[in-house]
Structure 1
């Protein structure tokens, strides 16, 4: 199992300057790169200060100039906000400007607050149909001349300019929790991005079963990769769990505002909705969050990660952007790189050695 990190610029007060959040993101990205994380993922969002990324390709191009090895991914592009021609060209250009490090992640979109402003008030659930038309069109534009007659977009013969550096194209990832989208993504040869949100560890197994079902239903496709994201905080002292949980609870109330469109937003800053109005209060229970999310000392985190490995997760992604104090984000990256990742690297080495020995024995 490999490891990634999800990072975004985020402001929760106008007193925090854009230059400050920009510099913090860069520092975290450099630490992740040096620490051996496989991929850095960043989101697309509009009109909200808690996730500042109107074009993730711009952010990734900038980060590429300051990192060496880490892959750079969109988690995620929001399908209804793009046209196929523009998306194909922007992604391909980003692939060149990152020297072939782009990972292309896409989703239907989430926040109804955004859909009301970016997609004419369309219900967010309808975004999946846009995604299913958009991705094949983008892939064909990357290949060469292509004319499109679809439900949402129509254009005469055109092509992506430029073409991607990676051939035949950057890895495609589809974000989903829905069985139908699992099936569709695997069927077109895409990788899977998913998250159990704040649900108990049993939800990891539920998502793993959806992945295995899609694989079984598409034996014609090579096995794609499977990434799973959880909010993560690693600390030295066990009692520090309370800080991580408090920030997770507070951020969840901002999420409820934007997802359900039930709160107010002032000049880009969403208000945290009252606890009494949240849709599932069980998701805010401090003890449950402590156990469900990837919060803990290095030893606790290693224990929690076992279920992800058992469920076939290829890449676990640390979700750090939930208004966690910068010092804790930095500590999390360093502790994870120094004390958690080596455990799994050693296990991978042992498996490779066992495989080689078994092959040699079979040959004898």
Structure 2
């Protein structure tokens, strides 16, 4: 199993400067690159200071200037917010400017607050249909001249300029949670981005089963990669858990505002809505968060991550963007690199060195 890092630039107060926010993300990217992470992922969001990334392709180009090996992925571009020609060209240029390190991830979108402002009332649910139309169009634009006459977009003969550096194109990833999205993504040859969100550990198995079912339904396709992201915080002492969990509990009040349109947003800063107004505030129970998410000391999180490995996850992704103070993000990443990753690397070396099982013809 490989490891990845998910980050957004985020501000929860005008007192936090964009210069500091950008510097923090650059520092984390360099640490992940030097520490042996496979991929750094960042999302697309608009009009929200708590998730600053109006064009993640620009963010990845900047991070490419400060890193050498780590893959750079969009998790994810929001299909209804793009034109196919623009998306194909900008992504292809990003692939060149990152030296062929782009991982192209796309999604239907999530926040109703954003959809109300970006699409004139289209819902995230309808975003699925945008995604299923735009991704095949982008692939055809990357391959040559193509005219499109679809439900959401129409244009005469055109092509992507430039074409991607990677051939035939950057690796494709689709954000998926429902069975239909898993099946569609695997059927077109895309890898899977998924997350159990704040659900209990059993949700890992549910998502893994959807992945296995989709793969079995498409034997004509090579098995794609399966990435799963979970919010993570690693600390030195077990008794530090309450302070660490408090940050994600507080962050939930901003997140639910944007998901449910249940509060106000002033000059880009979401209001932290009261817990009693949240549709499912029980999922923010502190002990449940500690147990379900990847929170703990290095010794405590290793068996948690082994659950993902056993479920067939190819890439476990640390989610660190939930108003976690920068010093705790740094400490989490440092402890993960120095005390968690070596455990899995040692097991991988042991498996590689073991003799093959007896038997066979």
Q: TM-score, normalised by structure 1?
A: 0.98
Q: What's 2:50 paired with? A: 50
In structure 2, how many angstroms separate the alpha carbons of the residues matched to 1:192 and 1:42? 15
Consecutive unaligned residues in structure 2, runs of 5 or more: none
In structure 1, how many angstroms separate the alpha carbons of the residues matched to 2:160 and 2:344? 40
Q: What's 2:36 paired with? A: 36
In structure 2, how many angstroms separate the alpha carbons of the residues matched to 1:181 and 1:363? 39
User: Residues 70-85 of structure 1: matches in 2 within 5 Å?
Assistant: 70-85=70-85
Name the count of aligned residue pairs.
361
Q: In the TM superposition, what whole-angstrom CA distance separates every residue of 1:6-63 from its partner, at most 9, and x where no partner exists?
A: 0111000001111111111111111111111110001100000001110000000000
Other structure's SS at 2:46 match = coil
Consecutive unaligned residues in structure 1, runs of 5 or more: none
Q: In the TM superposition, what whole-angstrom CA distance separates every residue of 1:169-200 from its partner, at most 9, and x where no partner exists?
A: 00010001010000000000000000000011
User: Residues 16-165 of structure 1: matches in 2 within 5 Å?
Assistant: 16-165=16-165
Q: In the TM superposition, what whole-angstrom CA distance separates every residue of 1:306-353 from its partner, at most 9, and x where no partner exists?
A: 110111000000000000010000011110011111111111122222
In structure 2, how many angstroms separate the alpha carbons of the residues matched to 1:353 and 1:187? 35
In structure 2, how many angstroms separate the alpha carbons of the residues matched to 1:325 and 1:9? 12
Q: TM-score, normalised by structure 2?
A: 0.98
Q: What's 1:191 paired with? A: 191
Other structure's SS at 1:323 match = coil
In structure 2, how many angstroms separate the alpha carbons of the residues matched to 1:171 and 1:298? 32
Q: In the TM superposition, what whole-angstrom CA distance separates every residue of 1:206-260 from its partner, at most 9, and x where no partner exists?
A: 0000000001101110000000000000111111211221010111111100011
Runs of 4+ in 1 over 4 A off after TM superposition: 361-364
1:362 offset after TM fit, Å? 6.2
In structure 2, how many angstroms separate the alpha carbons of the residues matched to 1:66 and 1:222? 33
Q: What's 2:277 paired with? A: 277
Q: In the TM superposition, what whole-angstrom CA distance separates every residue of 1:126-180 from its partner, at most 9, and x where no partner exists?
A: 1000000010110111111111111111111111100000001000100010100
Q: What's 1:262 paired with? A: 262
RMSD across aligned positions (CA): 1.1
Q: In the TM superposition, what whole-angstrom CA distance separates every residue of 1:90-141 from its partner, at most 9, and x where no partner exists?
A: 0000000000000001000000000000010111111000000010110111
Q: What's 2:170 paired with? A: 170
Q: What's 1:10 paired with? A: 10
Q: What's 2:356 paired with? A: 358
Other structure's SS at 1:358 match = coil
